[in-house]
Structure 1
């Protein structure tokens, strides 16, 4: 019996020993959520007069690290040939295979994408700087990349500017590198005084180049000057986009009914620029195009509406002036042929959606008023037969903001008045589709009662901007949670006001619409064009009932790229 007991104890002890030797966090207890960090390095950061024959850099982390993530997110500027050698799971030796330059500051950066064994990322990038001379470069910069997912990390590529230099992240590796941390924030440290251009790059394969076919890029709205005074430049913000340099092209053309032709493109285009001509190949007769509309479900498809296509006839479609949002335009008109073999469309024209449909209490002054039809509609006929009348008999004027020929939002010219009841009517029997066919002979009604002004607040302030006073800023006020509450456009320097806001938290942001195209321009890589300057107020604005949050100052950055274009 004693022998059996001893054997059991021996097995238990061996099991415990084997468990302790297994790599990974011990079971039980709270889940580790603490981000790792560097706790020791040799050379120590800020070391000077380091020998040019230095043969290795040692780094010790606070946690057991996931080696591959560290290997992918370690950079040194200027570039050195480094060989990685792990000593256990928390200590990394970087063996230097080059000779160090004289009087040179080297910056080793462990990017925020490095994580421990529990997949906790570093809170921010950490840099270790040392110099082979008596002094370190001390220049700093920083900012934020907006629109990233919580776990997403992008790299910041920094290039020195010179008269003979045109930095392009697609074919030139950066001089300095950092990565975004929590909230998309980044810092750059130990930069030599000079003029620099910074790009935000989604460097998925860690090759220190932008692969523009599948990686996003943030183009700066300004270059950065690092001087010897030690002052920190204004934060530089980025928005990411695909660096599209490809001209849009036609993929396919087909008829989907006797009244509709679909034009499938390689990418979405700006519809107002597109020119189309449809011809019967047999007779040479040109068919009248009643309208063009971006497809609701697939934005790279253009819906083209005509009076009638003849069964089994072949048609020629000529398309020109295809231009995408990056400014790439088709080089010359394209012509495609297709044969119509789809039967006649016999479906009935009707209203699919009306918002609001029924009586609604406490309707927001900026609440959604929306119509969607089964067929492309003549919106002039909708405008004539849709009425919003206050209880006192006053008509509300406004305009329809079309998403397509099928649907649109009604935007009141002067908004809706609090504490007011409105009756909405749509005489559907007089609304016409593009072919002049009316909807069912019925009048639809609904009623909305607008929120009381006692439940609403407002915000106001001024835009500060050192650029051209004639420039236009596009502002938007977004309720925390993502709902766009209101937007406006105005000249800089003028006071702004967002009224009739429900109680809650709001985010205020704006961009300088320098080309007045009513949309944000992300810039171009070649030929290089700066992005439009933008800013986001860092603090949430709290709105209370019957209260004005006044005195808000929104500092708009300038497009100060005069160093090199």
Structure 2
């Protein structure tokens, strides 16, 4: 839809002075009024509560059914008149939605909720409504696209939707002015705002079912969405730069899986000297999400033509690319930097659970794995040694795993003799690294128990308790009756939700856009749970809606 902007005043200037404006703009009046029938004008009007950005309004107006042509916009202060480009069809209900992308001029405040009104060019008006919510952290301003299904439902996402709305604060939405029929509805984070779903860039929410509105229906509520990335494009190598003889910084078009960033998955080929180099180390380090580092021994002439070859690249949602390659920018610089420790988990003087303890040491680059285990020591503060095993998260991360549970509410000391950790160029640091941490008290845990009702227990319900700030704090229960209990929960603010694991995968199935695969049903407990230490929440009633 394209637009012609016509203004009745030379400048759009809000009043100046006063306190900082934190009040979102509102729509105080529209013409024609909502519910008007036998409408025969060629325009509609919107009156805002304050001065608003004109371009944001233009981009936030959605008209259903869709009307082709160039609209004319005429402003007078806070009032807008929009002229239709063509004559409206007879006996049709039109719904106009002003989305939440509208911002005011004073402080760029967004509209809190979308505004919708409907009118009919005939004697009857469609008044059916579908409402729901998009869940997730970024759920405001998400587009809701509704398609009225006919005989063919193939590739409906390749056309513009029949009806459009937009989520407001909290992710709530309402589609209004709907006629009877069957609707397929998607939630789309439309990056281009062109009313078309772009699978390689837009996140999408898939419905659990199509919605049928009969002649006697007036409202369907409780349509819920979770957004996900349904990108089907393959990961690719896009660049490889040697920062010195031994380090190769690799860039991809998107983040790849940890399984892909293995040294044996890559080969460097010097096509000029006809040499092949095997990679010896691979690690993430402090790189961008789509980057990682490979290490190998070489003295390649910078003038040579050199390529990096990947056997298999897999992205985070399972798309695969085999036998990919990219050109390497060669460096003859010598690596003289000493190996260093950049961080630990837990941090120095931090805390950690005393059960299933894993202590992680992050180095700034890869190191030899054949060092003597005596280079690492774990003791209590009285010097009593703690037996442990060593593991490696990647070639630059050391993991210490005690054989037995540590004592609660007790201090421990980690020591590393860094002279035993040598990088590929032979660099090392002759120093002692040590840090102290403390195990948490068992009394600091919290818990949650109660009943979940209105649920079909034959469909493998899974209950999820997840921390809103720390994604690593996520607890999962498979439930077979109405009772549930979470124990040994770290204190914090949590979201509680449940899904029906009908494919028995153990994880939520978001569905698929086309060909359509409906998502699994889910329901969120309406309130955020503040679980305090040493205080278990009991007798919670969770109604699955």
Bucket of the pairwise TM-score, normalised by the shorter protein: 0.7 to 0.9
Matching of residue 227 in structure 1 with residue 213 in structure 2 = yes
1:201 maps onto 2:188 in alignment: yes
- Residues 359, 542 of structure 1: CA spacing in aligned structure 2 closer, same or farther, 3 A cutoff? closer
Q: Deviations over 1:369-410 (max 9, x none)?
A: 4412133146796988656556797958788683x4323676
Deviation at 1:436, TM superposition (A): 11
Residues 452 and 222 of structure 1, relative CA distance in 2, 3 Å threshold = same
Q: CA deviation at 1:113?
A: 1.9
Matched residue, 1:112 = 100
Q: Equivalent residue for 2:5?
A: none
Matches within 5 A, 1:119-134: 119-131=108-120, 132-134=122-124
Cα distance in 2 for residues equivalent to 1:534 and 1:109: 28
Residue 528 (structure 2) pairs with residue 540 (structure 1): yes
Contact 1:237 1:535 in 2 (8 A): no
Of 218, 224, 237, the residue aligned with 2:204 is 218
Q: Does 1:160 align with 2:148?
A: yes
How far, CA to CA, are the matches of 1:87 and 1:232 in structure 2? 36
Calculate the TM-score normalised by the size of structure 1.
0.74
Map 1:371-390 onto structure 2 (within 5 A).
371-377=361-367, 386=376, 388=378
Report if the CA contact (8 A) 2:241-2:250 is conserved.
yes
Aligned to 1:9: none
> Which residues in structure 2 correspond to 1:20-39 (within 5 Å)?
24-39=13-28
CA distance, structure 2, for counterparts of residue 411 and residue 192 of structure 1: 62
Correspondence for 2:309 = 318
Task: Decide whether the 8 Å contact of 2:285 with 2:364 is kept in 1.
Answer: no
Contact (CA 8 Å) 1:430, 1:438: kept in 2 or not? no
Aligned-residue offset at 1:138: 1.2
> What is the deviation of 1:78?
0.9
Q: Distance in 1 between matches of 2:410 and 2:295?
A: 39
Q: In 1, Cα distance between the equivalents of 2:389 and 2:136?
A: 34
Please give the secondary structure, in 2, of the residue aligned with 1:232.
strand
Deviation at 1:517, TM superposition (A): 9.1
Q: 1:129 to 1:424 in 2, by over 3 A?
A: same
Q: 1:458 to 1:130 in 2, by over 3 A?
A: same
Q: Which residue of 1 aligns with 2:30?
A: 41
Distance 1:32 1:336 in 2: 52
Structure 1: gaps of 5 or more residues: 1-20, 558-565
Structure 2: distance between partners of 1:408 and 1:520: 32
Per the alignment, residue 239 of structure 2 pairs with 252
Q: Over the residues paired in the alignment, what is the CA RMSD in angstroms?
A: 4.5
Q: 2:76 aligns with which of 85, 88, 94?
A: 88
Q: 1:549 to 1:414 in 2, by over 3 A?
A: farther
Give the drift of 1:91: 3.1
Q: Which runs of 5+ in 2 are unaligned?
A: 1-9
CA contact (8 A) 2:460 2:480 kept: no
1:459 matched to 2:448? The reply is yes
Shift of 1:112: 1.9
DSSP 3-state at the match of 2:170 = helix
What is the SS of the residue equivalent to 1:70? Answer: helix
Offset at 1:423? 1.9
